[in-house]
Structure 1
Amino acid sequence: MTLPKHVKLVEVGPRDGLQNEKETVPAEVKIELVERLAAAGLPNIEAASFVSPKWVPQMATSGEVMENLRRRPGVLYSALTPNMKGFEAALAARADEVVIFGSASEAFSQRNINCSIAESVERFRDVARAAKDNGIRLRGSISCSFGCPYEGEIAPDAVADVVRRMRDLGCDEIDIADTIGVGTPGKIATVYEAIAKEYPLGQLSGHFHDTYGQALVNIYAALQVGVSIFHASVAGLGGCPYAKGATGNVATEDVVYMLDGLGIHTGVHLDQVVDAGQFISRQLGRKAASRAGNAIANRRAG
């Protein structure tokens, strides 16, 4: 078995991680978090979400955050864009990449964005075209790829169908997300083997939540089938507002610790990611949800 020699990590803490925080996180704190993560070597950071503040109040400062960031050369700064209004805001904010999103579950699609899977993909056609016209990278994200809070088990063929639709929109990368964290290693392998027939494996990523404590072993299972892009959230921030009981994304510190131990190159400096995780956790007034991060911080303090 040969594991990838290099893994690209996509940091989602500043967007997916913070979007559910009830207390408003000031723009200057978000900016410092993004800058710390970029300095730590993370090559792709979800920094903003141009959705209606009515639905996601925490992201209302996205324009301010993007405008005031000190950008590091070579880092992709991404923004979630649900429609053309969001895309225009992302374009004005000089986002390097825009993210469109759908679901592998019809029930979740209806609950999350009030339309069918087919309708959701159709809605993104104009965004996809505009991204291409403006030379902006386009990423697609597919939620509930391994299980749904309303439908239960999701068939690999259902995921493959949405991958095909995202591919046909011209996505440069497609995220396969375990939104409620129910996936296990065997299911991970089965789904990626199915979707790799529709889209290059090297452009597929894994976005795993740790609800059932399976995120790291699921990343390892995905590595075994050749996946080399993974999402992680500093300090284990985040959840899903439409999936009851879904806890945070896998912690970036834990993923980097594991990949370092496997000898897989990420270009990410673990100590600096730990610092970023401890920083945002202090700002939020709680302990980080990263085991490796907290262990390293405690060892330093010891």
Structure 2
Amino acid sequence: MEYKEECMREGMQIEDVNIPVEQKVRLLEALSETGLKSIVVGSFVSPRYTPQMACIDELLRRFRPKPGITYTALVANPRGEERARAYSPPLTLEREPVPYLRCHLCDVFVRRNFNRSQSQEIERWPQIVARAREKGSVAAGIGINAAWGSNFLGPFTLGQRMEMLGRQHALWEETGIPVTHVSLGDPMSWNFPHEIEETLRAIKERWPAITHFKLHFHNARGMSMPSTYAALRSLEAADTVYLDGAIGGIGGCPYCGNGRATGMVATEDLMHLLERMGIATGVDFDKVIDCVWMLEEMLGRPATGHVSKAGPCPITPKEWYDPNMPLVETFEQARHFRLGPKAYEKGQRPWKEPISKPCVA
């Protein structure tokens, strides 16, 4: 599994609060200390539509990169790529591992977001295939966005997903380039775990050579975590899955109609799930949670993740809660898992006598 932290880019792009660049530098450097290995620092796009990215040049000049971490940025066009090259290193100029054929199942969304139609996306496929052939590509990818449904056109069926992927696969097959990668995106939060499982199993059964799965879920309807879990359960040890999310669960696309309510999977929640599943993440939860709290101060509002509020499950005796801690009612008091007894020192203790040890029948 490979995970990409998107707070600095997709997380912040939907925020309208004015965040000073020095605060962004502080957050990026703090994220670099958490154990996360891949961080997207922002995007080289027009600040007219994405004002949070106006300071990306200054951010990259001022922050101190940490060795061993891959820093990337979204590049939307040749001008953006030229700007990004000026900061490489520390930026890694990301290239997709294989050439992809992609399109959106929702024509309305792609028109709103990219000012082009689904038909125009499909018209580009022969050019992509021809370039791949010229370059001697030995593997290829297929992909769909708005894969499970649209706020403008309603749900899409498994048949629609497989039909579009099948058209792409056939083009690569005609060229003799094997398909090993698939990309499934969900900008409008139509993912549900049973449909994720159904889709992945159908892909694996029809095209067993596909072993690389890039999944991009949003969380407007609270399904990104269960959908991610379903994906992990559906794939095999030989498969590679590429996931992304943002600390605090922030993020979203202004073109989908849900604004900041869209959200992403919260990094701290997903890492907690992975650890409980026995998948080592190398993440320092205290540091990740400190980053979420820092982010909340910057935004002036609570983030939407959960582990940053209640803490990770207390596994070891050292982490167990004090049986005589007072009543804990507020979010502030709940921070005792990180701040200690001072978080709840004025709370009430209505029980008659101290609890020395559990009474087990």
In which range does the TM-score fall when normalised by the shorter chain?
0.7 to 0.9
> Is 1:238 matched with 2:247?
no
After TM superposition, list the pairs within 5 Å mapping 1:1-302 onto structure 2: 7-94=1-88, 95-98=91-94, 103-117=104-118, 119-120=120-121, 122=124, 143-154=145-156, 155-157=160-162, 160=165, 175-196=183-204, 202-226=211-235, 228-245=241-258, 246-296=261-311, 298=335, 299-301=337-339, 302=343
- CA deviations on 1:229-250 (whole Å, 9 max, x unpaired) are 2211101111220111252101
| Superposition deviation, residue 287 in structure 1 | 1.5
Distance, in Å, in 2 between the alignment partners of 1:140 and 1:35 is 35
- CA deviations on 1:187-242 (whole Å, 9 max, x unpaired) are 11233334556696553222222211111110111001226322111011112201
Distance, in Å, in 1 between the alignment partners of 2:190 and 2:108 is 17
| Superposition deviation, residue 116 in structure 1 | 2.3
Q: Which structure has the greater CA radius of gyration?
A: 2
Q: Report the aligned-residue RMSD.
A: 3.3
- CA deviations on 1:52-100 (whole Å, 9 max, x unpaired) are 1111111111122223232222322121122111121222222314489
| TM-score normalised by structure 1 residue count | 0.81
Return closer, same or farther for 1:20/1:239 CA change in 2, 3 Å cut-off. Answer: same
**Corresponding residue SS for 1:39:** coil
Of stretches 287-296 and 26-35 in structure 1, the one that deviates more from structure 2 is: 26-35
Counterpart of 2:272, as a letter, is: Y
Distance, in Å, in 2 between the alignment partners of 1:254 and 1:52 is 32
- CA deviations on 1:113-140 (whole Å, 9 max, x unpaired) are 01124535749x89xx8xxx9xxxxx99
Counterpart of 1:25, as a letter, is: I
Identity of aligned residues (%): 31
**Where does structure 1 lack aligned partners over 5 or more consecutive residues?**
1-6, 134-138
8 A Cα contact 1:18 1:238, kept in partner = yes
Return closer, same or farther for 1:260/1:274 CA change in 2, 3 Å cut-off. Answer: same
8 A Cα contact 1:48 1:66, kept in partner = no
Counterpart of 2:187, as a letter, is: T
Distance, in Å, in 2 between the alignment partners of 1:29 and 1:66 is 13
8 A Cα contact 2:104 2:147, kept in partner = yes
More helix by share: 1
8 A Cα contact 1:142 1:162, kept in partner = no
| TM-score normalised by structure 2 residue count | 0.69
**Where does structure 2 lack aligned partners over 5 or more consecutive residues?**
97-101, 136-140, 312-333, 344-361
| Superposition deviation, residue 257 in structure 1 | 1.0
Counterpart of 1:108, as a letter, is: F
Counterpart of 2:107, as a letter, is: E
Distance, in Å, in 1 between the alignment partners of 2:274 and 2:305 is 15
Of stretches 264-273 and 247-256 in structure 1, the one that deviates more from structure 2 is: 264-273
Return closer, same or farther for 1:60/1:262 CA change in 2, 3 Å cut-off. Answer: same
Return closer, same or farther for 1:142/1:159 CA change in 2, 3 Å cut-off. Answer: same
Of stretches 73-82 and 272-281 in structure 1, the one that deviates more from structure 2 is: 73-82
Q: Which has the higher contact order (CA 8 A, sep 6+)?
A: 1
| Superposition deviation, residue 274 in structure 1 | 0.8
Of stretches 196-205 and 238-247 in structure 1, the one that deviates more from structure 2 is: 196-205
**Corresponding residue SS for 2:214:** strand
| Superposition deviation, residue 15 in structure 1 | 0.3
**Corresponding residue SS for 1:80:** strand
Return closer, same or farther for 1:152/1:175 CA change in 2, 3 Å cut-off. Answer: same
State the aligned residue count: 285
Query: In structure 2, what is the equivalent of residue 136 of structure 1?
Result: none
